[in-house]
Each structure stands twice: as structure tokens, then as C-alpha cells.
Amino acid sequence: MIKAVIFDMDGLMFDTEALWLTGGVQVGQSLGYVVNDRLIRSCIGTTHETTKQLFYQEFGPDFPFDQFYNGYGDYILKTVKEQGIAMKKGLIELINYLKAEKYLLALASSSAYIRIALYLGQNQLSEALFDVIVSGDEVQKGKQHPDIFLKTCSKLKIKPVEAIVLEDSNNGITAAYQAGCWPVLIPDMDIIRPEVSKMAYKSFENLLEVRDFFKTIKKNNTNLD
């Protein structure tokens, strides 16, 4: 029986992925490096440490990662504060429906907590909407490792098999699958690999379709299989 729904944040709740790509390219250029879309996409959903290792693999150990990462973070925060950040289609409708149906809600993002709070605040969304919020600061291994979802389920006091995870990336779907949760894919900027698509229990175009999926479960009085 599904008791909880776990939301990813970047690219799932908010339209941030294009911002990440643009920021990575611009900050890389300012340091004299060509940071391409492929590299940024490979970092989607991962922690600071994993991202560092991916950049070292790409450019070597002399890459000024801390300078890049700090500049990248400054770019994102400045842009969001100045321009805001759009919510994904159907987010509010889905949250309202799940709350009304008494599901536990969690937000599990590889982003730092300060960024989670900023994005929610920019859209007048209360942190209290979620029973649990877990940030990338709280785990050593980021997505594609299952740690963040295992920690979230532990905080919710449920088994992983009792949680649906909403994700948009290869790393996120892999992490949810490895954790033993039910991964549901809503693709965004990341190009989903065929082997990852097979890990997803369901795939939808937007969060309104996810809401309708939950309505169907209720109407038919069925469980997942």
C-alpha cells in the first residue's frame, strides 16, 4: 500500500534545468573552460562531491572546482532572486490532491537546503506542505545512489516499497529504483537512457497526469503491481 509520495525538486517541481545548463556554460567560460551540456546533465541530481569528481574526470585535477562551484551557485541564486523561478505544470494541483487524500509528502533533493528554501519561498510555498524535507547536505552519496530516498523513508517511518518517487532524471530514477521505491518518471531536460526507462514504474508528461493517475488508483481501489 502506498503511504507516501516523494518529490524531487529541480526539473520536477521547478523549471530549473535550463537555468543550470546556461549557468554552467557561462561560469565555465569565465574560467577559461568549455563546460558543455553533456557534463552538466551528468551532474543532475548528484551531490557536491559527486559533481566534483565528474568535473575532475572531464578536465583533470587542476580544474578550479571550488571557484566554479561557488560562481555557479552565485549565478543560480542571483538569477532566481531577480527573475523568480517557474513551477512545473500541475504541481499545486497534485500537492493539493495528495494532501486531501492523506498521503505523506516528502521533498528529497540533492540541492543544498538553502536552495530548497529559496525556491519554495520564491513561489510562496510553505515548507510545512511536506512532512519531511531531505537535502543533499544530509547524505554522503548522492543520486544515483539510493541513500537520499532511504533516509527520506526512514524519516517518514515507512518502508521504501510504500513510497512513490517522482523524478525527472536518470540519476533520480536509478536512485529510487535502487532504494526499492516505486519510481515514476516525468522527463525534463535529461535525456533518459533506455535502461533507466525500464526502471520506471510509470512515465508521464506532466504532474497533472500524475494527479490523474492517483485518481485512477482511488477510483479502481487498486494497489500498484
Region label for 125, one of left (φ > 0), alpha (ψ between -120 and 50) or beta (otherwise)? beta
**Degrees (nearest 5) of the Cα angle 210, 15, 20?**
135
- The predicted-structure confidence for 74-99, as pLDDT tens digits, reads as follows 888 888 888 888 999 999 999 999 99
pLDDT score of 53: 92
Average pLDDT of the chain to the nearest whole number: 92
Whether pLDDT at 217 is above 80: yes
User: CA 103: distance to chain centroid?
Assistant: 19
Whether pLDDT at 109 is above 80: yes
> d(Cα 15, Cα 3) in Å, to the nearest integer?
27
Residue tagged 516528502 (cell numbers):
106
Smallest CA-to-CA distance from 218 within 102, 71, 116, 78 is with 102
- The predicted-structure confidence for 8-23, as pLDDT tens digits, reads as follows 999 999 988 778 888 8
Entry pTM: 0.86
Report the percentage of the chain scoring pLDDT > 90: 69
Whether pLDDT at 225 is above 70: no
- The predicted-structure confidence for 146-196, as pLDDT tens digits, reads as follows 999 999 999 999 999 999 999 999 999 999 999 999 999 999 877 899 999
Compute the Cα dihedral for 136, 140, 144, 149 and give only its sign.
negative
What number of other Cβ atoms are within 10 A of residue 77's Cβ? Answer: 13
